[in-house]
């Protein structure tokens, strides 16, 4: 990895770590259960800190994504674009969510409580989580980095299931307090994965092989008959003349 890319990975790691700390400190400062997005609602004492945390997530996601843009997935359907591109998309939606906070209480944006800020924030957050999950899932089948693949597979399933359950509880307005805790756990796992992704990029021995493919698989050797005259390389009895940089002696056919 180039020095500039290593620097980007380090910057991204620091940003994501700082965002994770800010979110947890903000959440622990509120003596009641609430969804993560409500930390940034208008009138909340944590609103400004939460906005800073979201912006740090955007910066960290873009920096780490750029540093890891050479990583690709093996399955064709997951390899249509790189995990980094998906991470860029997730970061973009997080940026929208940071700039359009929800209203106090962060109500579900339908019915009599519908407001456009809640709709924009909720939609952006939903797409951001979905893109983040897809990024993690792509890395679960990435070429090379076996440890990252295993962690990514576990994290992608955990984030999808936990965040999905928390979101449904919010939409159905059923046991929302417990659902908010699930959302916080899913958020933590997702940010922790980006952090680990950056660390893998920073500390692993980045051979080209690690980034774009694994070791070549063993295969049987096969002899292929050739017709030297047809190939246009002169022939002398059973010898083929092969021009070499330092040694032009004939090789036995």
The number of folded domains in the chain is 2
Say if residue 243's pLDDT is above 70: no
Same-domain check for residues 121 and 229:
no
pTM: 0.77
Judge if 128 and 36 occupy the same domain.
yes
Co-location of 245 and 198 in the same domain: no
pLDDT confidence tier of residue 96, bands split at 50, 70 and 90:
very high
Which domain range does residue 48 map to? Answer: 3-212
pLDDT digits (tens, 9 = 90+) for 77-89: 888 899 999 999 9
DSSP 3-state of 125: helix
pLDDT tens digits, residue range 125-162? Answer: 889 989 999 999 999 998 777 778 888 999 989 888 88
Question: Quick one: 199 and 253 in the same domain?
Answer: no
Comparing 15-24, 43-52, 108-117, which segment has the lowest mean pLDDT?
108-117
Distance CA 23, CA 40 (A): 10
Q: Based on the fold, state whether residues 121 and 142 are members of the same structural domain.
A: yes
Q: Are residues 8 and 79 in the same domain?
A: yes
Residue 90: alpha-carbon gap to chain centroid: 9
pLDDT in the model for residue 227: 55
In the chain the first and final C-alpha atoms are separated, in Å, by: 43
State the average pLDDT over residues 6-22.
95
Same domain, 73 and 154: yes
Q: Do 201 and 237 lie in a common domain? A: no
pLDDT (mean) for 49-76: 92
Asked whether residue 104 carries a pLDDT value surpassing 60, the answer given is yes
Q: Tell me the mean pLDDT in the region 211-234.
A: 47
Q: Do both 31 and 85 map to the same domain? A: yes
Q: How far apart are CA 40 and CA 101, in angstroms?
A: 6
Q: Is the pLDDT of residue 238 over 60?
A: no
Shared domain for 204 and 227, answered yes or no, is no
What integer pLDDT is reported at residue 149 of this predicted model? 87
Measure Cα distances from 227 to 222, 224, 244, 250 in Å: 16, 10, 20, 16
Tell how strand 251-252 and strand 239-240 pair up: antiparallel
Q: Which of 67, 124, 68, 58 is nearest to 88 (CA)?
A: 58
pLDDT attached to residue 164: 80
247 and 177 both lie in a single domain: no
Same domain, 243 and 122: no
Per-residue pLDDT, averaged over 42-66, amounts to 93
Q: Is the pLDDT higher at 169 or at 207?
A: 169
C-beta separation of 61 from 88 below 8 A: yes
| Mean predicted confidence (pLDDT) in 219-231 | 49
Give the other-Cβ count within 10 Å of 229's Cβ: 10
Nearest in space to 102 (alpha carbons), one of 47, 158, 26: 47
């Amino acid at each position: 990895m180039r020095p500039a890319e290593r620097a980007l990975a380090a910057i991204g790691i620091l940003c994501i770590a700082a965002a994770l700390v800010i979110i947890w400190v903000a959440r622990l400062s509120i003596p009641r259960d609430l969804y993560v997005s409500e930390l940034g609602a208008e009138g909340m004492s944590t609103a400004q800190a939460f906005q800073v945390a979201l912006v740090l997530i955007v910066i960290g996601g873009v920096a780490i994504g750029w540093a890891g843009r050479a990583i690709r997935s093996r399955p064709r359907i997951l390899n249509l674009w790189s995990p980094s591109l998906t991470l860029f998309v997730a970061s973009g939606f997080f940026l929208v969510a940071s700039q359009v906070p929800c209203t106090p209480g962060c109500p579900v944006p339908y019915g009599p409580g519908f407001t456009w800020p809640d709709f924009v924030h909720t939609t952006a957050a939903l797409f951001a989580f979905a893109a983040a999950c897809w990024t993690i899932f792509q890395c679960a089948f990435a070429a090379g980095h076996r440890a990252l693949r295993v962690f990514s597979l576990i994290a992608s399933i955990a984030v999808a299931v936990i965040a999905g359950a928390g979101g449904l509880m919010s939409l159905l307005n059923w046991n929302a307090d417990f659902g908010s805790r699930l959302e916080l756990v899913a958020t933590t796992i997702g940010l922790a994965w980006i952090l680990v992704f950056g660390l893998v990029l920073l500390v692993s021995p980045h051979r080209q092989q690690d980034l774009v493919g694994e070791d070549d698989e063993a295969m049987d050797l096969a002899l292929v008959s050739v017709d030297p005259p047809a190939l246009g390389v002169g022939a002398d009895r059973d010898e083929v003349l092969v021009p070499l940089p330092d040694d032009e002696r004939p090789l036995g056919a």
